[in-house]
Each structure stands twice: as C-alpha cells, then as structure tokens.
Amino acid sequence: MRSLGLLGLGFLAGAVMSLGLAPVQAVWAAPLALIVIAVLLLRTERPLQAGALGWLFGCGYFGFGLSWIMEPFQVDAAADGWMAPFALAGLAAGLALFWALAFWGAAWLARGGWRLVALMGCWILAELARAYVLTGFPWAGFAQLAMPEGAALRAVPWIGAQGFTGLLLFAVLPLAMMWRRPFQALAPMVAVLASFAWMPRGPEFGGDLPLTDHSVRLVQPNAPQAEKWLPEKRWLFVRRMLELTAAPTADGGRPDLVIWPETAIPTLQNYIDSDNLRPQLLAAADGAELLYGIQRREDGQYMNSAVVMAADGAVLDIYDKVHLVPFGEYMPLPSLWRRFGVFGLAARADSGYAPGTDRGLLDTTAGRALPLICYEGVFAQDVGAVAKRADYLVLITNDAWFGSYSGPYQHLVQAQLRAAEQGLPMLRVANTGITAVIDPYGRISESLALNTAGSLDARLPAALPPTLYSRTGDWPALFAALLLITVALGPRLRAKTRGTLA
C-alpha cells in the first residue's frame, strides 16, 4: 500500500509540473514537482520501483502537458476522433519510458543523496535521447517550463535547452535533502543563481534594439483546419491573404518581403500557372518579394515546401521540409498500417510526404534565411545543422492543427528558444496564430493574437554574433551528464575498492 501511494504521488507531481508549460506557465510548478519527486526517489527501495516512479511521473507530466495532441483528430472527428485518446495515452506512456530509464538508472547506480546526482546525469541523457532517438520529440522539455525573469532565454545562448535541463536539475533536486544537509542542499542553488549574474540581458525594446533596414509583412489568414481545404471556402482564405498583402503600409509604402504561412495556397506549386495564380500573387505583392508555403510534386512524390517568389514572378528558391511529422506527414512502415486502413492525418499518395534532402539557406531580399516549417522549429539540432550562418530564421506553420488552448502557445515558446539559442531573429508566420517577430534574445517584439486574421508590418531585427551554443551544440550537455554519473559512482567505487583491499 505504501508503495502504491508513493507511485500515485509521483503521477500527481508530474501533472502539477505540467502547469509550468504554456499557457498556464505557473513559475512555482516545476520547482515544487521536482522537489517532491526527488524526495520520493530517495524513499524508493529498489531500482525497479524507482523506474516505475519515473514512468508515472512522466505519464502525469506528458499526459496533461501534451493534451493538445488530441486536437488534430477532431478536425475530422467522425473518421479520426476515436484515435485521439489512444494517441495521447500512447505518446505519454512512450515518452515517459525515457524518464523511467533515468530513474531506474539513478537508483541502480547510487544510494542515498548520491542517487540525486546520478539522477541529474541520467535525466539529461534521457532528455537528449528524447530529442534525438526515433527522429526525436523534445516537446515539453525543461527549458519550456516557466522560469523567473526569463531564465531559460538567458541561459540557452550559452548552454542550449538540454544544458538548461541540467542547470535546473542541479539547482532544485538537492533541495530534497534540505532537512538533513541544508548547506549541501542550498549550495547548488546559490551557484546557479550566481551564474545568472554574469549572463547578459538583452536591451530594452525600442531604440536600443538594433534593427535592419529591411521591412517585412507577416500575413495570418486564420483559416480553420476543418475549412481550409473545403472547395467552397479554400479560395476565400487565399483572397484574404491577397488583400492583406496588397494593403499599403502605414507610411504608404511597400514592404521588402511578405511571408505567408505553411500550405497557405491550397494547390500544388506545379499548378500555380494553370490555376492563374501567379498574376494575382504579383499584383498583390506589388514589387515585394513573396515567401509562401505550398505543397509540390516531383517524380511522383509530394513535398511540404516554402517558395520564394521574386517581384517579377520568378521562383528564386524552394525549400522542401526535411524533418517530417511521424503519423501526420508520413507513416513509418506504411505497408503495415495500410493493412489496417490507417493513414497519416495530412497524408498524400498513400504513405504521406517525402522529406527534402537539403537543409540550406534561402536567399531573400531581407538576407539569408534559414527556413523551418512547423514541426522543425522544435529541434535545436536542426536549426544548428546548417554550416553557413543565416541572417534570420523564418518559421512558417499551420498551428490550426493544435487547437486553441495549449498547443499553439507551447509551439511559440519553442520558437523563442530557437531564436535565443542561435542569437538570430525569427519571423514566425502561422495560419491561425500566433504570428510573431522574435528578437535574437528570444523575446516577442510584435505579434498577432491567436484566431485572428490580419497582417503585421515590422522591421527585421539585426542578428547577434554567434552564440556559444551555436558553436558547441549539445556536446557540453552530454559531457556534463557523463561527469555527473561518474561523480555519483564515486562512493560506490571507493567502497568496492576498500572491500577488495580488505
């Protein structure tokens, strides 16, 4: 009975920690939950019990924090709605396995207070694995939890989101021993707080924030997913974007670059001319360059793409989305799922989209842009994978799939982290929102509210020099994890050595 109560508290602690995610963003949620789970871990007796504790903690956290995953299945609820609870339960249980291994490993490696040191290392490894293994899914990482004074945005240019995981665990987990060893419990927290004293803050918005000479217009059509592809409505949203694009700026001029969201145009790039769209795009842009999301077909395969169109109508560049969404944009093992009549939510041609092969930069009138399409903004390693440094990031997305509660807000937080990690501004253009201009410190300077139609005119912020994280990636986080595990093993190895000598 005592063991069941301990495990039940673990699940509850995970649910509480999910309140730190957007849109609630309770600052107290993560520290409280982490202290509770650390106390519970110290009370576990066997590694298997510790693993179960970590798994239930993860189930509570991911089960509540990722509830938006059910929203895509409601777009066509009659056909797909039955899959929603299974998708949430399967995703939460699967992601929680990474944490189960971390807790099991910590309990197997060390005893007493050293178990918390081992957990720090194992948990960092688990989060790294969650970001990379099986294409990765780092959504709801520790850097996405609300922290005082934007702590994550200040830290990630130096250590990245995975490094922030270690920083948070190092500061908070020892507090579980406060009643026994107050000095050892408080010292890591004090050290972490001191480290923030020399981490630079960004300048205040206004005259101190460097801006380029390039003007941009971000267009948010607000096309509900259930209506976006309906024959009787889909061109209505295109006309809306054309009108928003054609409107003059406040000073009567024209922007240098206009950006439309992911799959903004409900046809294939192959049919732009046959559908008589090119003249309409040129007329609306009226001398501005246009970057838009669209699907295209090549060699019998479909791609989710971003196209840059010059002021004279020529296609300057095309980017095909590289990191696709499993079960959404493509089906792993398609022949297996085909037998059961299960296809991806956005699938075309039976097994979905084909991935692009080149993660290069797009040449635009506003400079070299690193393009990201929707899900790609979740992955820090994708943003850092390009050899040449961009002038800015551009993320086009269709967050209508994510509903109106938590998904769009959590996706936006991750865009802020990507900008801060690289020290690059980001232009984020979303179908239903949240469209935003994000400065190179990861702060939102201007935005359009969720579920509204409109356009946003702004000057593109200037990039900062390359950050430390942009040079090192996640290697320091991996090294820190292995170092913590080695330190935690010290007492056990010394005891074994003494026993051998005796």
The catalytically annotated residue of 262, 329, 376, 421 is 262
Query: In the chain, pLDDT over 90 holds for what percent of residues?
Result: 64
Measured on CA atoms in the order 208, 209, 213, 218, is the torsion positive or negative? negative
- pLDDT of 1 higher than 60: no
Type of residue found at 49 = Q
Q: What is the distance between the alpha carbons of residues 144 and 147, in angstroms, rounded to a whole number? A: 9
Q: Are 442 and 420 in contact (CB under 8 A)?
A: yes
Catalytic-residue membership of 321? yes
Identify any residues that bridge with 359 across adjacent strands, giving them in sequence order. none
Catalytic-residue membership of 374? yes
Burial of 190 (0-12, 13-18, 19+ CB in 10 A): exposed
What is the pLDDT, as a whole number, of residue 304?
93
Query: Per residue in 38-62, pLDDT tens?
Result: 999 999 989 999 999 999 999 999 9
What is the pLDDT, as a whole number, of residue 336?
53
The catalytically annotated residue of 122, 289, 374, 421 is 374
Residue 140, number of CB atoms within 10 A of its CB: 22
189-193, 250-254, 275-279, 416-420: which is most confident: 416-420
- pLDDT of 208 higher than 90: no
> 351 vs 113, which has greater pLDDT?
113
The catalytically annotated residue of 59, 71, 289, 321 is 321
- pLDDT of 161 higher than 70: yes
Pairing of strands 392-397, 367-373: parallel
The CA–CA distances, whole Å, from 243 to 51, 189, 239, 279 equal: 56, 54, 6, 14
For residue 66, give the nearest of 99, 96, 42, 45 by alpha carbon.
96
Q: How far is CA 138 from the centre of its chain?
A: 7
Q: Quick check: pTM over 0.85?
A: yes
- pLDDT of 289 higher than 90: yes
Mean pLDDT of 71-82: 79
Burial of 100 (0-12, 13-18, 19+ CB in 10 A): buried
